[in-house]
Structure 1
Amino acid sequence: MRKNELPVASESVEQICLFRWAAYEEGKYPELALMHHIPNGGKRNITTAKRLKLEGVKSGVPDISLPVARNGFHGLYIELKKKKGNGTTKNQDCWLKSLNAQGYYAIVCKGWEEASKEILDYLGEGEMI
């Protein structure tokens, strides 16, 4: 990090900001109340990880789901990344491709601001693809 640069927010902080934004916008867009996080990531002990896998947790599933049909799509999935740094894994790329093939709008967003713009576009407030 350079002397005058701010640190890059973690994915967790970006996601918290996105859900705070969504809560604020629910008055205008009540559908945002359906948006939720899919907790597939994170560090876990081996026992918990094995149990969650048996319960159906799968590697690569996008972080966020908005189960609202719009613009010919069944719903929106977002793989949220921090603004600078890490990219998607092969599993994440496979999930995004498969979800798109099944009629969902599945995308990668860098930072909560990009994600909020994509959500508004999806809900019909901006330019859709």
Structure 2
Amino acid sequence: MNEYNAQRLLVAWFDTTYPYLKSLFFAIPNGGKRDKVTAKRLKDEGVRPGIPDLMLARPCGGKNGLFLEMKTVSGRPSEAQEAAHLALRTNGYAVAMPRGYEAAREAIRGYLENGAAC
């Protein structure tokens, strides 16, 4: 399954499973191919390389929120992604890089259901 379909399924599952948190779970559309004009506009607006695909903006278990970088089973992070993940972790965020829909679902469950004081 490609990243798009895994992410689409994950968002649908999340919205059904945690409807009260729906407004706190959102995509960060940094990736994808764009023409040069659109890429320049987005960069000027603050798009940053390496920022994960999704964020759950809910503090839990001593973390400020959860970022998810969706990957396929064989997908690998870029250097920009590794640097962004380190910066986010250093600043109190949980970061997961699940490989597929099921792994992403488990990362969210683990964050919400195993963390203290969510």
State the TM-score, normalized to the length of structure 1: 0.84
Flag structure 1 segments of 5+ consecutive residues without an equivalent: 1-8
2:88 corresponds to which residue? 99
| Aligned positions of 1:1-129 closer than 5 A | 9-27=1-19, 30-82=20-72, 84-125=73-114
Greater gyration radius: 1
Question: 2:25, 2:54 within 8 Å by CA — same for their partners in 1?
Answer: yes
1:4 corresponds to which residue? none
Question: 1:26, 1:33 within 8 Å by CA — same for their partners in 2?
Answer: no
Flag structure 2 segments of 5+ consecutive residues without an equivalent: none
Number of aligned pairs?
115
Q: Which stretch shifts more, 104-113 or 117-126?
A: 117-126
The alpha carbon displacement at 1:125 in A equals 4.7
Question: 2:75, 2:99 within 8 Å by CA — same for their partners in 1?
Answer: no
Question: 1:78, 1:109 within 8 Å by CA — same for their partners in 2?
Answer: yes
CA displacement 1:5-61 (0-9 Å, x = unmatched) = xxxx1100010010111111024xx22431000000011100000111001001100
Looking at both structures, which has the greater relative contact order when contacts are Cα pairs under 8 Å and sequence separation is at least 6? Answer: 2
CA RMSD of aligned residues (A): 1.3
State the TM-score, normalized to the length of structure 2: 0.92
C-alpha distance in structure 1 between counterparts of 2:34 and 2:46, whole Å: 15
Off by >3 Å, runs of 4+ in structure 1: none
> Helix, strand or coil for the counterpart of 2:69?
strand
CA displacement 1:49-78 (0-9 Å, x = unmatched) = 011100100110000000000000000001
Identity of aligned residues (%): 36
Question: 1:34, 1:67 within 8 Å by CA — same for their partners in 2?
Answer: yes
